């Protein structure tokens, strides 16, 4: 089965911190669509992508943003697909502000949140979700766990 995951970041400066998610998804054979979309500077683009994502064949979103990290929440407000937020370090609080902004979602609009700069775990979480109904991905995950344990 083929899957497509949108990997969004709030700024081009976030690319280095989000690239490990892309690399991880690619390792598992998952297509990525990497975009820079700001919840504050380009909210219409965020809403348009998120609201049409299911029809466009996306399986999930991984959203990385720093400081006032509203990107994951803005995406989650416009889709019922899984959204994983990656709070990114930087700014005066070195990512703690982004962590709080990402994890504190209102009831009914969930965003799974990983550690600050945890884009690899965000990707692995998406792979685990997809592997619920995909035996090949489940096998790849099991092999990956053996590999990292060694």
* Segments making up each domain of the chain, as ranges: 4-149
- pLDDT digit string, tens, across residues 24-81: 999 999 999 999 999 999 999 999 999 999 999 999 999 999 998 999 999 999 999 9
Report angle CA 46, 50, 55 to the nearest 5 degrees.
140
The single-letter DSSP state of residue 80 is S
- Gap between the Cα atoms of 113 and 103, Å rounded: 6
Q: Which option is the CATH number for 4-149: 3.40.1350.10, 3.40.50.1970, 3.90.1490.10, 3.30.565.10?
A: 3.40.50.1970
pLDDT in tens, 80-111: 999 999 999 998 899 999 999 999 999 999 99
103 SS3 class: helix
pTM for this structure?
0.97
| Token pair in block for residue 109 | 């609009």
């Amino acid at each position: 089965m083929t899957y497509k995951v949108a990997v969004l970041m709030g700024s081009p400066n976030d690319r280095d911190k989000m690239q490990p998610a892309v690399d991880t998804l690619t390792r598992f054979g998952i297509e990525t669509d990497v975009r820079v979309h700001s919840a504050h500077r380009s909210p219409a683009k965020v809403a348009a992508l998120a609201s049409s994502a299911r029809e466009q064949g996306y399986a999930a979103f991984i959203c990385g943003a720093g400081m006032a990290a509203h990107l994951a929440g803005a995406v989650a407000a416009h889709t019922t697909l899984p959204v994983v937020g990656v709070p990114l370090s930087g700014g005066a609080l070195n990512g703690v502000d982004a962590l709080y902004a990402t994890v504190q979602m209102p009831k009914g609009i969930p965003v799974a949140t990983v550690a600050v700069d945890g884009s690899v775990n965000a990707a692995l979480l998406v792979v685990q979700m997809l592997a619920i109904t995909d035996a090949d991905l489940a096998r790849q995950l099991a092999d990956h766990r053996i590999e990292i344990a060694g």
